Amino acid sequence: MNSIEKEIWVREQLIDCFENPSLTPQFLLQKREKLKGKIYKYCPILDDVIDKNGKVQHQQQYAIENIENSILYMSKIKNFNDPFDSYVSFSMEAAIGKIVAKSLSNQSFNSSVVEESIPLLVEGILNDGFTEDEQSPNLSYLLEIMEDIPELLKWGDLTEEQRTAGMVKMMGKIFQDGISGKAEINDLATACSNNPASIISEMLRGIISYPQLFGVQAESLGLEQMKEATKGLKAQMSSLRPEISEAIKKMRDTINNTFYVACFSTSFDNALMWAHYANKHKGFCVEYDLERAKIDDDLLINLFPVIYTKKRAMVPDSLFNYSDMENIKVSTDNITTVDLILSLLQKSDIWQYEDEWRLILYDEIKKLKDSKFSVDCISKIVLGCNIEPYYENQLVELCQEKKLQLSKMQLAETEYKLIENPILE
């Protein structure tokens, strides 16, 4: 699955499970199937130190102790090595955009894609992001679209079916032109593929700036009404900025102090993971067999794929209830919970090589105590190719005692590849 597919799948499944808990086992079985029943955690073994007398001192190896005690150490979000990870961002302009979109009564904006474009448009208004050059490639191309699909100018008079047909026709033209190598459409085609609403917003910005070029009156689409509403809301939101900023700070503090995370990968032979998370291949990797975990185990219930993206996770739109601007409230409904979980799963795409799945727990989980979570599905230990003999012997004895499989990685002779050699089966 790519990131978009992951997000859609997790969102749909979580919403369904919240609305109908009897669907939860089906979701958990899907997770297990997608992971082929196994997840892996890379663990470091700390380097020995030399004391002042020149003697080797072995350090306490918490990773090995965790295997001995059948636990997972859960990290608080504030301790992540990536400061961007799960540190949700917030845009006052985007918030205003959402409010304007909801407050507009003009029925011309019934289409969901157009509704999604309004916040983007409002952000442009707030940041003076109008089209400044009448001859700009974007504006010229949008005019061309209007000539080819004139029904778009009669949006308010169209049925929902006609609007959908016009939108599909427009998207088809954009993609076709993009494929054909039309230089001026490259950026728009990319934007459209990532977020169809952005092309609508670009078009509306052009209409606002130069309605005469499009042969329409801006007020016929309610855009003047939008601009006026935006001005008033901008002033109102500015006065509320300290209050909203404080609410965001409290939310971040709550996230940092409430949620615990453990990170896993879908493979045990990733050379980068061995280098970064197992102390240059000196550590080991733990295999967890999800087939051994009970279907109602918190390990399965709270395990989700990480969603890699170029943009930072935003404070969920559903978090604040803006229906009463004098008394902004924090929502606690199921949709907000789903949005919050998804925001904690987002991570920069520079980490995509990790193919991470993330266990997200919170204080109320019974098997979680002092940041330690009990697990009973450890099935195998894989030793790094550079592990010190002292710790290798320790782990051999531990695996024999706990009846765990054991193997060791070695470097391939002619390829940049790690090969697994079984030791205990």
Angle at Cα 274 formed by Cα 271 and Cα 278, nearest 5°? 170
Distance in angstroms (rounded) separating the CA atoms of residues 284 and 267: 13
pLDDT given at position 106: 46
Q: Give yes or no: residues 276 and 316 share one domain.
A: yes
In a domain, 93, yes or no: no
**Residue 289 pLDDT exceeds 90:** yes
- What does the DSSP 8-state code read for residue 74? P
Write down which residue in 188, 221, 254 finishes a domain: 221
Gap between the Cα atoms of 87 and 92, Å rounded: 16
**What sign has the CA pseudo-torsion 54, 58, 59, 60?**
negative
Q: Report d(CA 244, CA 334) in Å as an integer.
A: 22
CA pair distance 187, 140, nearest whole angstrom: 13
| 100 within some domain | no
pLDDT at 219: 54
Which domain-ending residue is among 175, 204, 221?
221
Angle (CA) 69-74-79 rounded to 5° is 140
pLDDT at position 407? 96
Task: Give a yes or no: residue 46 inside a domain.
Answer: yes
158 sits in the region (left: phi over 0; alpha: psi -120 to 50; else beta) called beta
Structure-block tokens of residue 27: 């979701």
Instruction: Give 397 or 81, the one with higher predicted confidence.
Output: 397
Range of the domain at 172: 105-221
pLDDT at 338 over 60: yes
Which of the given ranges, 91-95, 164-168, 344-348, has the highest pLDDT on average? 344-348
Residues 287 and 144 in one domain: no
* Residues 319-334, mean pLDDT to the nearest whole number: 64
53 shares its domain with 170: no
Same domain assignment for residues 114 and 255: no
DSSP letter string, 309-371:
ESSPPBPPGGGEE-SSTTS-EE--SHHHHHHHHHHHHEEEGGGGGG-EEEEEEETT-TTEETT
Q: Domain boundary at 221, 236, 269, which?
A: 221
**Is 227 part of a structural domain of the chain?**
no
- Considering the domain architecture, whether residues 61 and 156 belong to the same structural domain is answered as no
User: Do residues 289 and 384 share a domain?
Assistant: yes
Q: Report d(CA 109, CA 352) in Å as an integer.
A: 37
- Identify the band that residue 388 occupies on the pLDDT scale cut at 50, 70 and 90: very high
Angstrom distance (rounded) from CA 362 to CA 301: 12
Query: 46-60, 66-80, 133-147: lowest mean pLDDT where?
Result: 133-147
In this prediction, residue 105 carries a pLDDT of: 45
* Residue 278 shares a structural domain with residue 413: yes
> Are 120 and 79 in the same domain?
no
Q: Are residues 81 and 109 in the same domain?
A: no
Task: Report the C-alpha gap between 287 and 12 in whole angstroms.
Answer: 29
Does residue 13 surpass a pLDDT of 50?
yes
Q: Which residue has the tokens 């003009």?
A: 106
Is the domain of 258 the same as that of 198? Answer: no
Q: Are residues 279 and 407 in the same domain?
A: yes
Give a yes or no: residue 235 inside a domain: no
Residue 256 lies in a domain: yes
For 124-163, what is each residue's pLDDT tens digit?
A: 555 554 444 444 555 666 667 666 776 666 655 667 677 6
Strand, coil or helix: 393: helix
Q: For residue range 194-230, what is the model confidence (pLDDT) as tens digits?
A: 555 566 666 666 655 555 555 555 555 555 665 666 6
- Nearest residue to 110 (alpha-carbon basis) of 67, 163, 66, 58: 163
Domain count, the chain: 2
Distance between CA atoms of residues 422 and 6, nearest Å: 34
Together in a domain, 347 and 391: yes
Q: Is the model's pLDDT at 395 over the cut of 90?
A: yes
Q: Is residue 226 part of a domain?
A: no
Tally the C-alpha atoms within 13 A of residue 186's C-alpha that lie toward its C-beta: 4
42 burial (CB, 10 Å; 0-12 / 13-18 / 19+) is buried
Q: Which residues contact 340 (CB under 8 A, 6 or more apart)?
A: 255, 316, 319
Q: What are the DSSP calls for 256-295, one per residue?
A: HHHEEEEEEES-S--HHHHHHHTTTTTSEEEEEETTTS-T
Q: If you ran DSSP here, which 8-state letter would residue 380 be given?
A: E
Q: What is the DSSP string of 132-174?
A: --TT-HHHHHHHHHHHH-GGGGGGGGS-HHHHHHHHHHHHHHH
Instruction: State percent of the chain over pLDDT 70.
Output: 63
Token pair 């606690």: residue: 332
Whether residue 228 lies inside any domain: the answer is no
